[in-house]
Amino acid sequence: MKRRKRISGFSQSEPEFLISCLDRHPDWAIIVCLVGGGQEINTGEAGIAEWIESLNRSFPEWDVYISPKLTDSEYAAGKALKTLGERKCVRYKEELHLSVSMRSFRAEHVSLLVKQLLDRDIEKARETFDKVKTNYPIMLTRDLGKAKQWLRDMARGSERYGIIVSSQAERLKPHAIDVKSPMEPIHWFLNGKDDVRSSYYLENVATEFDIQGLELDWACVTWDADFRCSNKGWEHWSFKGKRWEHINAPERQIYQKNAYRVLLTRARQGMVIVVPMGDSEDLTRKPQYYDATFNYLKDIGLTIL
């Protein structure tokens, strides 16, 4: 607001401001919100929780119709939902939960599988993968070269494929993947197979910020040591200077988990996940940084390429 409207000291969130605009109507208004779960990947993004908190904070007279499924972990709305229950005019409607992903037209269970995978619910993830694998192949490999060839073999005609990685994946440089090297989204998403700037060339990569809200037909998700499996759960790391440092802030941990949620749900028809081998002679790429993640994905049942 300060940059575009020259209004300093603006304290309202986007949901609160939007509701306030409709609240000015003398008779009535309706706001329909389509909010994805687990899509908050950047500072200031708060998802469905901020819509609820805005209603609770500033608009007590509004009627609220909402899905009862917002208690699921990826919505991060637990606290807000508790206070929502104190309102007079709240209606929970099963029909308001849109459970079928239009992006993954070949497998409606892919988003559920990714949720279970990220929640470390391995038994349910195995069950869901069994439902998915026939129509939606998900391969697992430690060889980026094999992954690239698999993409080329699977794609037909103009079906688009490309490599996507976490914006925190800074130790993939030995694999010629540099997340700090800028890519031009227009060229990457739209240009043809004869253009080195396009996703087809498998040289430039897209991060969660580049590809959020968009999709490919076939995707290669290359998994770095920023988001690691361990016996205690997921570990969150950021590469600073010459070493990995723990991410301790809960908010940043959520953003990082959601980044991988975005990456793992960008492919329409199938994907290959690459977990590098690491290098025992490189202190920033020790094999143990990657092995547990690979073994976890293997235990779910992903097909080894």
User: Are 124 and 191 in a shared domain?
Assistant: yes
User: Are 130 and 277 in a shared domain?
Assistant: yes
> Does residue 104 lie within any of the structural domains?
no
Return the H-helix or E-strand segment holding 152.
helix 144-154
> Does residue 103 lie within any of the structural domains?
no
Last residue of a domain, one of 29, 63, 96: 96
> Does residue 206 lie within any of the structural domains?
yes
Q: For residue 139, what are the domain limits?
A: 110-304
User: Are 119 and 251 in a shared domain?
Assistant: yes
User: Are 231 and 134 in a shared domain?
Assistant: yes
Domain at 218, CATH number? 3.40.50
User: Are 91 and 184 in a shared domain?
Assistant: no
User: Are 170 and 50 in a shared domain?
Assistant: no
Chunked mean pLDDT (size 10), the chain, 305 residues: 78 86 92 72 62 85 83 56 73 80 64 92 95 93 97 96 95 94 92 95 94 91 96 94 93 90 93 97 96 97 95
Beta strands 227-230 and 216-222 are unpaired
User: Are 129 and 268 in a shared domain?
Assistant: yes
pLDDT at position 7, please? 78
pLDDT at position 49, please? 76
Residue of 195, 189, 238 whose CA lies nearest to 212: 189
Last residue of a domain, one of 46, 68, 96: 96
**Which spans in 206-269 are helix H?**
208-211, 250-263
User: Are 129 and 68 in a shared domain?
Assistant: no
CA–CA gap between residue 257 and residue 95 (Å, rounded): 28
Whether the CB-CB separation of 221 and 271 falls below 8 Å is answered with yes
User: Are 84 and 117 in a shared domain?
Assistant: no
Q: How many domains does the chain have?
A: 2
Q: Is the pTM of this model over 0.85?
A: no
> Does residue 216 lie within any of the structural domains?
yes
pLDDT in tens, 89-148: 888 888 888 766 555 556 568 888 999 999 999 999 999 999 999 999 999 999 999 999
> Does residue 247 lie within any of the structural domains?
yes
pLDDT in tens, 61-77: 899 888 877 766 555 45
pLDDT at position 20, please? 92
> Does residue 114 lie within any of the structural domains?
yes
User: Are 65 and 128 in a shared domain?
Assistant: no
Whether the CB-CB separation of 236 and 186 falls below 8 Å is answered with no
**Rounded percentage of the chain residues whose pLDDT exceeds 70:** 88
pLDDT at position 81, please? 66
> Does residue 235 lie within any of the structural domains?
yes
pLDDT at position 71, please? 62
User: Are 79 and 145 in a shared domain?
Assistant: no
> Does residue 61 lie within any of the structural domains?
yes
C-alpha atoms less than 13 angstroms from C-alpha of 136 in its C-beta half-sphere: 25
User: Are 21 and 139 in a shared domain?
Assistant: no
pLDDT at position 77, please? 54
pLDDT at position 53, please? 83
CA–CA gap between residue 223 and residue 71 (Å, rounded): 28
